[in-house]
Amino acid sequence: MTLRRRLAVAITALLVVTALAFVGVALSQRAYLIAQLDERLSTLTTDGRALLAIANRADAGNGAAAGLLTDVYIGVLRANGALVTVLTPNADPGLVPVLLGNERDAGPLTRAIVGGGERVRLVEVPLNGGRYAVVALSIAGVEAAFRRLLLALGLAWLGVAAVIGLVAYWVDRLGLRPIARLTSAAEHVTASGGRAPVQVETADPQTEAGRLGHAFNAMVATTAAGQEELRRFVADASHELRTPLTTLRGYSSLYAAGGLASSEQVADAMGRINAEATRMGRIVDDLLDLTALTDSAALELRPLDLGTVIEELAADLRVRNPDRAVVVERTGATIVLADPDRIRQALTALVANAVKYSPDGSPVVLGAQRLGPMVRARVTDRGRGIPVEELPRVFDRFYRVRSAAAAGAPAPATPKGSGLGLAIVAAIVSAHGGRYGVDSVPGRGSTFWLELTGSDGAVPARA
């Protein structure tokens, strides 16, 4: 059963119970008043003969007697069944009860009166000679009080119903209707396979339903953005892998068609095939790296001295490029809490780019310094630099600066990379909650840097 239907059932039940309770109260009040009438009847009729005597006297104009019996009907039922009225109530001089014949020894009973309209409570008291005194009290007053009470309770019930109705409307509008909207929106999202960026109209953010709506919208937006990102990622990756595949297929078709005549041509083709296959392998590895890096929980954080890391990288670089001047600049405490393998991977990529995009023999500067709460590591080259308009995109996946020739570098000499190196750097630094960037002057060189939060000098013991 839906929450809404449950609410409706609960409210209906509540209203029915209230109505029954109110009617019960009114009926018991009526019964109480009638019991009081009966009480009076039984006081009046303790001695039938005396009562009749007083009644006769009252009828004969005796003021004191009349004062006692202003609202009582008294009659005498003869042995032959005829009812002789002795006294009628002042308020209703025509009142005569309708006897059904079974009133004898039955205690107080309710009977109609001749001509209808009102009713009486009535007892018969035996007199001598087979006669009975019939004593009756009108219950018109009791019934009027009952009707007034019923009216008052009915009005109160209407008030309660109105308040409950308002509360129900309020709960429905603020709580249930938004949930129904959310449900159908969620069903819509599911039906679209998570691609439809459905947004719901959100209620007051102070309410639970409002907060739920906001959270839902944010979730849907994030999911849709994630899906779009994934779609682009797959599209980019397929596009990048298609180029080397086309080359491979080209050489194999050429060979099949007998286009590679000499053994030198075959060797050359094999060399190209090997280079493309290697490149594909690198792209796949880099893609796997990038996917793994979206999960920052996978990082193994340890205290790491960025100064030491750049010293090590500089030493490696000097061994591999003895003709380059490799300068190290360290200042301040440069310890951070980071995943050493990942940070080394990022800095290695920056150093590799510096070497790749600057002329042989030009100097490379590796720096580590404390900048307030942050520690910055940087790699500076004296290479071709990056045009200003390309700067914002160099960290994008698969992005490579196309205008290399314009920047004055020997473009053919640079081996083709995957275009994922800087994207991986960005992913690693972001996973650490750090910042990264590049400053570059075309023709003069570039400085790539990354910043991580410093870890206050002291190296905590490894957990």
Give me the residues that bind ligand ADP (CB under 6 A), please.
Answer: 353-354, 357, 381, 383-386, 394, 399-401, 417-423, 446
The whole-angstrom separation of Cα 408 and Cα 391 is 17
CB of 319 to ligand ADP, least distance (A): 20
Q: Which is nearer to ligand ADP, 36 or 291 (CB)?
A: 291
CB of 330 to Mg ion, least distance (A): 25
Among residues 366, 398, 403, 360, which one has the least CA distance to residue 385? 403
One symbol per residue from 251 to 280: x for binding Mg ion (CB under 5 A), - otherwise; what is it? ------------------------------
The residue sitting closest to ligand ADP, measured at its beta carbon, is 417
CB of 421 to Mg ion, least distance (A): 3
Rule CB under 5 A: is residue 417 a binding residue for Mg ion?
A: yes
Using a 10 angstrom Cβ sphere, with 0-12 exposed, 13-18 middle and 19 or more buried, the burial of residue 138 is: buried
With CB under 5 to 8 Å by kind, the binding choice for 386 among Mg ion, ligand ADP, none is ligand ADP
Q: Which is nearer to ligand ADP, 247 or 418 (CB)?
A: 418
Q: Which is nearer to ligand ADP, 16 or 406 (CB)?
A: 406
Q: Which is nearer to ligand ADP, 153 or 368 (CB)?
A: 368
The whole-angstrom separation of Cα 91 and Cα 463 is 102
Cβ atoms 357, 384 nearer than 8 A: yes
One symbol per residue from 42 to 81: x for binding Mg ion (CB under 5 A), - otherwise; what is it? ----------------------------------------
- The angle subtended at Cα 399 by Cα 444 and Cα 391, nearest 5°, is 40
C-alpha distance from residue 346 to each of 338, 383, 425 (Å): 12, 19, 5
CB of 400 to Mg ion, least distance (A): 9
- Dihedral of CA atoms 95, 99, 103, 109 in degrees, nearest 10, equals -50
CB of 417 to ligand ADP, least distance (A): 2
Cβ atoms 353, 422 nearer than 8 A: yes
One symbol per residue from 349 to 378: x for binding Mg ion (CB under 5 A), - otherwise; what is it? ----x-------------------------
Q: Which is nearer to ligand ADP, 76 or 407 (CB)?
A: 407
Q: Which is nearer to ligand ADP, 30 or 384 (CB)?
A: 384
Q: How far apart are the first and last CA of the chain?
A: 53
Cβ-count burial 91-120 (b if 16+ within 10 Å, e if not)? ebeebbbebeeebeeeebbebebeeeeebb
With CB under 5 to 8 Å by kind, the binding choice for 357 among ligand ADP, Mg ion, none is ligand ADP
| SS3 state of residue 180 | helix
Q: Which is nearer to Mg ion, 217 or 418 (CB)?
A: 418
Among left, alpha and beta (phi > 0; psi -120 to 50; other), residue 356 is alpha
Residue 226 contacts by C-beta under 8 Å, 6 or more apart in sequence?
none
With CB under 5 to 8 Å by kind, the binding choice for 354 among Mg ion, ligand ADP, none is ligand ADP
Rule CB under 5 A: choose which of 385, 421, 445, 454 binds Mg ion: 421
By CB under 5 A, name the binding residues for Mg ion.
Answer: 353, 417, 421
